[in-house]
Structure formats: C-alpha cells, structure tokens
C-alpha cells in the first residue's frame, strides 16, 4: 500500500479548462452568478486548489427554472421524438470525443483512479445516453376498450398519452459526478423534459463540461441548465421552487427527507436514490476464488464512497475465519495514491471533512469491541487518504455496522443458522435496503435468499451488477422510485387519458 505522492501534471486541455472563468450555464449561455461569489475546487489527492467556480443562489435558480420553462414550451416541445433521439445520441458522441478530458477532470475533482473514470464514463456515461436515446421513440400510450357510463359500446374511444412531466430539478452528489449527471439527463431528455442541474459544490467541473457538450451537440438553449451551488442555498431553492415539476435527487437519506419536505409546497414529483448499508451473504459452499476479490471490490470500490457498497459481510461460521483473513489480505494489497497515477487502485476520500467522519467511525469500531483486521489509519502527508479497513466480529449494536459510513470500512459477522429466513432477518436489519449479494453454488439457495433480502437490487455471485437496462433503486429509507431501464424513464412521464364520443 503506497503513500500519497504528488499528483501528475494535468494535460494541456485540462489546464486550459481549469483556467477558464467558470460561470453558470443558463439558457444556453455562460452567465455570472448574481452574487458574484465563487468557491474553490480542491484536488483531494494533493489538497491543492484546482480552480474557482461561480456558485449560484436562489435568484440564479429562479433564472435557470425560467429558462427551462421557456424551453419546455418552445423549440424543445416542437421537436419530434426522432429529433430528440438524434440530439441525445449526438451528446453521447460528444462525450466520447472528449473522453480524455472528461476522465481527467473527474479524477482531479473527485480523486477516483483514472482507469475507473475512463471505463465508467464510456460504459455508463455515453452508453447510458444512447440507451435512453433509443427510448425517445418508444414512449407510447394505450387504447382502452371501455364504454363510459351512459355510452353504448362502440360509440366512444379512450386512449392515453405519455407526456413529459415538465421542468426537472436534478441534484447530484460528489462520488461519481459525471455519471450522476448523465443518469438524470438521459431519461429526462428522452421524455421531453427540461432540466436544471445542481452539481455538488465539491465536484462541479464535469457538470460544467457537460454544458459545453450540450452546446456542441446542438441541444436547444434552456433545455439543460447547470447551476453549481451550496445545498442549503441553491439546492434548497430548487427543491422548493413552485415552477419545478419534479426533483430527482441522489444523496444521503438525511438530505432526502429535507427534499421531500421542500417539495410539498407544490406537490412536485420526487425520486430519491439515497443511502445504503448493503449485505453480502456468503454460504459455506461458495467459490472463494470469486468471493474474495468480489467482496473486496464490492466494499472498497470508489474508496467505499458509493451507495451500493457492500459494507456488511455475513459469512457462515464454517468459513468465516478463512474469508475474513483473505479479504483482509486483498484489502491490504490495494495501492493508495492520486487517481492520475497508473499505480493507484484506490484514491483519496473527497475532503478533510469526509476523512474525519470516516476516522470517527473507525475509532468507534475500536472502542465498541470490534476486531480490527486491517487498515484503520489515515495516511500521513497531503491528500485525504484512508486505508481500506476491515472489522470482524461486529454486530448491529455497533454504529459501524448500523450506520452508513461512506468510506472504506467493511464490517464482518458470522452466522450459523440453516434457516434462510433467519439469515435474511439479520441481513435486513437496519433502515436501508438498496443493494445486496448472495454467494453460493446452490442455485436454489441463491434464488431463495435473493428473494428474502429486502433491497431494490440483489446480485448472485457478484455484487452491485449494473447496466443501463437494469432498474436500480432502494427500499425502506434507501429511496423512492427507480433509475435505469424503462422504470427510470417512467419517472419523467405523466399520463393523460382522452375520451372521444362518436
């Protein structure tokens, strides 16, 4: 495990982008924030300032929403579904054409390894846009064979239309900024909505790059608006705005509850992708050659800063010691360093605040009696690095096993029950229900256990399987609604029924 080293020099394209005057993207133009205030953007690997970005407030959100409303009623509404398909596809092409720059900005901004950024932007960025580009021409209604009261059979026709829900406020987190933006834009644009996007204040750079790409792709002015800002100002104003028809939010459960309260003013639609504390359940017949790397990746991918992370490991007592030892060995071999370094397996946490939060949970684990298997330390020097950490012999009375940490911390506990219901009852403890995985060679056990886990997504012999066509979202306090797939598109549509009398 390497210590943090100085980050590599940014490319010429990245240096030019960072040197720009970073404004708000409203109505197809780069405009100054009303307050003229800016916020510094920090490289989490070096703690150095990358640039400064304008931050919007309530008045800027008002301007962005007005631009989105104007576009919704204007040119965008007059385009055919085929024309929307072509524009979304063109946006995907532009993202591919700027892959190197987008990946580099994502790494500098967020800290994730470059290899992961490049792969994910291609597989779940441009391809996600193309997936939803295809849906734009497949939004259909129904004819309903009914006869309203007092009308004889055959003397009326009832049909439904699916219409765009309207102006969408999209509020995204810092853990995978570009992908989170695309996850909102793809289905919203396919449905014919317009968008006001508020990226996290820590990671605004790739969202701003998307503004450039939208213009290059020919997306009409006002269809996509981008307003970096603080959650308590710009985010709150967007969530409460009376002329916003829907909020699509990804973030913490705590903030999700505030979004719901703010949205009540005009009863706007809300979809929420929130926190997780996902179980990985390993049965004694599981193939450990798949379990060990799968569990390590499931727990520590993106430094554990992802909602799908498998942060609770349940292992049958017959193989518990062996699995814990081998997962600890795998975790200890991960190389920590700046994301731009080709030798880095894991990057830094997003901020000093997040590092302090994670270290507080690790200290809690030590004092609550959990057994520290590996990690448990922040690296000295510059950068917000924390070693991958594994605790054994944990239980749900401990904070580290119960609460979402959003960092590289895995909690392991054993089980001995032969009854799957009892195993599932333990795995389902807690307020979250986002993801989960089952590891076994017994296909019957696999399917039965997957059915018993209370989560919106369960994988068998892998963890957090994702694809643009696979619905994703949470149960319990992990969220409302689904993203990805047809279900992700439905959240941006409303239904109108029309009856014609002959």
Catalytic (active site) residue 462: no
Full strand arrangement of the beta sheet holding 389-392: 371-374, 389-392, 409-415, 310-316, 278-282, 437-439, 459-460
Contact present, 101 and 13 (Cβ < 8 Å): yes
CA 151 from centroid of its chain's CA atoms? 50
Q: How far is CA 283 from CA 323, 401, 441, 460, in A?
A: 11, 20, 9, 12
CA 457 to chain centroid = 14
Find the catalytic residue in 273, 404, 483, 490: 273
d(CA 436, CA 298): 10
Handedness of CA 472, 475, 477, 482 (dihedral sign): positive
Tracing tokens 């405009």 back to the chain, one arrives at 31
CA 434 vs CA 131, 259, 410, 458: distances in Å: 23, 19, 16, 9
**30: three-class secondary structure by DSSP:** strand
SS (H, E, C) 317-352: CCCHHHHHHHHHHHHHHCCECCCCCCCCCECCCCCH
For the question of residue 483 being annotated catalytic, the response is: no
* Beta carbons of 41 and 205 less than 8 angstroms apart: yes
Residue with tokens 């800016």: 38
Of these residues, 307, 374, 411, 490, which one is catalytic?
A: 307
Which residues belong to the active site? 273, 307
């Amino acid at each position: 495990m390497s210590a943090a080293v100085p980050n590599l020099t940014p490319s010429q394209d990245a240096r030019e982008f960072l040197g720009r005057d970073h404004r708000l993207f409203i109505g197809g133009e780069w405009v100054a924030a009303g307050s003229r205030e800016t916020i510094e953007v920090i490289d989490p690997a070096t703690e150095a300032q990358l640039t400064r970005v304008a931050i919007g407030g309530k008045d800027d959100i008002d301007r962005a929403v007005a631009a989105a409303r104007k576009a919704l009623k204007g040119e965008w509404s007059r385009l055919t579904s085929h024309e929307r398909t072509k524009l979304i596809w063109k946006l995907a092409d532009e993202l591919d054409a700027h892959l190197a720059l987008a990946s580099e900005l994502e790494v500098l901004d967020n800290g994730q390894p470059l290899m992961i950024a490049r792969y994910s932007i291609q597989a779940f960025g441009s391809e996600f846009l193309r997936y939803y580009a295809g849906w734009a021409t497949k939004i259909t209604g129904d004819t309903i064979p009914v006869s309203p009261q007092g009308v004889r059979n055959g003397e009326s026709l009832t049909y439904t239309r699916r219409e765009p829900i309207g102006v969408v406020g999209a509020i995204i987190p810092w853990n995978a900024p570009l992908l989170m933006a695309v996850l909102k834009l793809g289905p919203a644009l396919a449905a014919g909505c317009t968008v006001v996007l508020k990226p996290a204040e820590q990671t605004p750079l790739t969202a701003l790059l998307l503004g450039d790409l939208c213009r290059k792709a020919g997306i009409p002015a006002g269809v996509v608006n981008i307003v970096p800002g603080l959650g308590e100002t710009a985010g709150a104003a967007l969530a409460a705005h009376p002329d916003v028809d829907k909020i699509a939010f990804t973030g913490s459960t705590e903030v999700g509850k505030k979004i719901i309260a703010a949205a009540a003013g005009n009863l706007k639609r809300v979809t929420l992708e929130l926190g997780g504390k996902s179980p990985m359940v390993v049965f004694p017949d599981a193939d450990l050659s798949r379990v060990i790397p799968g569990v390590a990746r499931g727990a520590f991918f993106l430094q554990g800063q992802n909602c799908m992370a498998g942060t609770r490991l349940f292992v049958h007592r017959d193989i518990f010691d062996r699995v814990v030892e081998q997962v600890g060995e795998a975790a200890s071999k991960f190389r920590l360093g700046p994301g731009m370094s080709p030798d880095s397996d894991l990057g830094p946490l997003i901020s000093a605040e997040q590092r302090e939060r994670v270290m507080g949970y690790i200290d809690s684990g030590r004092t609550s009696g959990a057994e520290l298997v590996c990690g448990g330390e922040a690296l000295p020097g510059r950068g917000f690095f924390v070693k991958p950490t594994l605790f054994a012999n944990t239980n749900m009375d401990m904070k580290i096993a119960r609460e979402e940490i959003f960092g590289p911390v895995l909690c392991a506990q054993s089980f001995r029950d032969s009854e799957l219901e009892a195993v599932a009852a333990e795995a389902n403890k807690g307020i979250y229900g986002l993801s989960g995985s089952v590891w076994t060679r017994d296909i019957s056990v696999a399917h039965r256990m997957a059915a018993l886990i209370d989560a919106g997504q369960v994988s068998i012999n892998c963890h957090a399987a994702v694809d643009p066509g696979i619905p994703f979202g949470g149960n319990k306090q992990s969220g409302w609604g689904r993203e990805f797939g047809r279900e992700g598109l439905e959240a941006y549509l409303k239904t109108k029924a029309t009856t014609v009398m002959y």
